């Protein structure tokens, strides 16, 4: 292209399509090269686009970096629709001051924007072989809705001034391992990736999102690697959602970019057909050390994990964790060291075998998402997470019940803890544990001790009333009372002067000795239970 004498005129050698784009740029209007026949305008279709729809990437780069002045009263912008862009669009390190928007365009080669500075760039329903934009800085949005990007997107350490939108995009990894490489990306407002379809790892390590992260109905697949979503140390100031795309989430998904050409399951509500799609993930998810300012929502998700893969939430911090996915058939659920104020879950979301790890998991409330999650089910949940006995999960669950005023459930949990602990003790201690359990349930059921004392006292009173022992000192003995005598034998401290005044013989002597021993055992266990009660209070 030759340099024009007047910068307001296009350079020589431009095509008709490029001349029209030059004029549209100065006018700030859209340059539309579509045929308005859907099958011919599909950027992913097989129909050839001729020279009448072809614009060179070098020509576009010239407009963006060194474009002509706008017409009087207009603001220059590049808005290109339905074009075939040949060559590599490269604005690396450049400063683009104009609004940029491509719609339904077919790029023949990758787009390169590393180290570039832009205001707002929108690529809507385009075919882009690859987007290289490491350390890109935008003052406004970067939109890629409904784009097909088979070789992946690189946004490492990029800074997005407002929103990053990937709704309904299809992103592959090509010969690489990562479909989206966005480690260290900073998004000032929302990161929207609903109905996103990826083939390869999505990497958001150390990402910062100033508002919310939405992945409603996204499908993340990485059959060749261990992780489908790798996002440790991510910070989201409000909500991070991995949930269904449904009627409730429609405003966040559809907005200004309504879905086209995407397959969904349909549900009907109030006579209106709403499109619904589940969040699906084939491969591991890592959100370790994440910080979520409002809540982390993993709702009704479908997780397809291999035996060595995890849904890992180690050491996350969030006011609320909504955990209601479909329980994966394989792989681990890891909550070790996580801290949340409120846990909202459901029974069938947790693995039934020992594939749940939650050592050090701290929560203040546990609320069922649906139905009633009773204390027995919570105990099964804890037992699943502790194939080897550990006291912390039981103490955490008991503390949660105490904080919500459910003292009865707290005692049930602590009793279950003692029974699990008993199985780890040597035989003598285990036998003593069984005695404490049968008598006073380790002090957590004090009424049980009173029942045993009553049975022993009544049995002893009846037997000794029928077989009165001989007095020790003849006429000096107190008046015989079988009930007081039996009670004197059972109580190790209090004395009614009956046990020392009468001398049973034969088998009744053994009966008296047994009652004394049982009285000491009951008194010891009652004292231990009282000590625990005072400590809890």
In this prediction, residues 415-426 reach a mean pLDDT of 85
Confirm whether pTM is higher than 0.85: no
pLDDT tens, residue by residue, 238-261 = 999 999 987 666 555 654 444 444
pLDDT tens, residue by residue, 340-366 = 999 999 888 998 888 999 888 999 988
pLDDT tens, residue by residue, 483-524 = 776 666 767 766 666 656 666 777 777 777 777 777 776 766
- What is the model's pLDDT at position 517? 75
CB 217 within 8 A of CB 277: yes
Three-state DSSP class for 444? coil
Instruction: Give the gyration radius of the chain's Cα atoms.
Output: 37
* Average pLDDT value over all residues in the chain: 85
CB 234 within 8 A of CB 287: yes
List for the chain the helix, strand, coil content (%; round to 5).
Answer: 30, 25, 45
Q: What percent of the chain has pLDDT over 90?
A: 55
Report domain extents, the chain: 13-111+120-129, 132-253+277-334, 442-535
Please, which pLDDT band fits residue 264 given cuts at 50, 70 and 90? very low
More confident residue, 201 or 405: 201
- What is the model's pLDDT at position 12? 83
Distance CA 380, CA 355 (A): 13
CB 517 within 8 A of CB 489: no
């Amino acid at each position: 292209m030759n340099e024009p004498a007047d910068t307001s005129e296009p350079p020589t050698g431009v095509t008709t399509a490029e001349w029209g784009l030059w004029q549209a740029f100065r006018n700030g209007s859209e340059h539309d090269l579509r045929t308005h026949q859907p099958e011919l305008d599909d950027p992913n279709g097989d129909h050839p686009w001729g020279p009448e729809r072809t614009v060179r990437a070098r020509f576009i780069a010239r407009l963006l970096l060194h474009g002509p002045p706008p017409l009087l009263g207009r603001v220059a912008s590049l808005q290109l629709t339905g074009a075939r862009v040949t060559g590599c669009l490269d604005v690396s390190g450049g400063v683009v001051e104009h609004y940029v928007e491509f719609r339904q365009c077919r790029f023949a080669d990758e787009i390169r924007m590393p180290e570039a500075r832009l205001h707002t760039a929108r690529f809507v329903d385009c075919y882009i072989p690859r987007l290289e934009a490491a350390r890109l800085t935008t003052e406004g949005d970067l939109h890629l809705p409904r784009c097909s990007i088979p070789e992946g997107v690189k946004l490492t350490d990029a800074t997005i001034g407002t929103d990053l939108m990937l709704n309904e995009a299809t992103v592959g990894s090509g010969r690489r391992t990562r479909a989206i490489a966005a480690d260290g990306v900073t998004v000032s407002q929302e990161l929207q990736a609903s109905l996103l379809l990826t083939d390869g790892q999505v990497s958001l390590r150390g990402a910062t999102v100033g508002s919310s992260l939405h992945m409603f109905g996204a499908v993340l697949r990485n059959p060749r690697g261990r992780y489908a979503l790798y996002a440790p140390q991510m910070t989201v100031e409000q909500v991070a959602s991995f949930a269904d795309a449904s009627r409730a989430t429609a405003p966040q998904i559809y907005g200004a970019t309504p879905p086209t050409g995407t397959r969904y399951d349909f549900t009907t509500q109030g006579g209106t057909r709403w499109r619904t799609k589940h969040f699906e993930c084939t491969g591991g998810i890592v959100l370790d050390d994440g910080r979520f300012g409002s809540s982390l929502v993993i709702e009704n998700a479908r997780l397809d994990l291999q035996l060595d893969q995890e849904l890992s939430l180690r050491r996350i911090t969030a006011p609320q964790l909504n955990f209601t996915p479909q329980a994966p058939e394989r792989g681990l659920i890891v909550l070790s060291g996580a801290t949340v104020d409120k846990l909202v879950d459901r029974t069938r979301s947790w693995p039934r075998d020992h594939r749940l790890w939650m050592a050090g998991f701290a929560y203040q409330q546990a609320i069922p998402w649906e139905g009633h999650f009773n204390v027995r089910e919570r105990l099964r949940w804890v037992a699943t997470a502790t194939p080897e006995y550990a006291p912390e999960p039981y103490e955490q669950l008991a503390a949660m019940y105490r904080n919500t005023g459910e003292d009865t459930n707290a005692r049930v949990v602590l009793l279950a803890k003692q029974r699990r602990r008993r199985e780890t003790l040597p035989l003598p201690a285990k036998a003593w544990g069984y005695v404490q359990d049968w008598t006073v349930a380790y002090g957590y059921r004090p009424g049980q001790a009173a029942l045993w004392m009553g049975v022993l006292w009544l049995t002893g009173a009846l037997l000794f009333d029928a077989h009165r022992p001989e007095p020790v000192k003849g006429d000096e003995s107190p008046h015989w009372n079988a009930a007081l005598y039996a009670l004197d034998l059972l109580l190790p401290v209090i004395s009614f002067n009956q046990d020392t005044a009468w001398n049973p013989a034969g088998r009744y002597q053994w009966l008296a000795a047994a009652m004394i021993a049982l009285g000491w055992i009951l008194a010891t266990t009652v004292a231990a239970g009282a000590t625990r009660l005072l400590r809890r209070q």
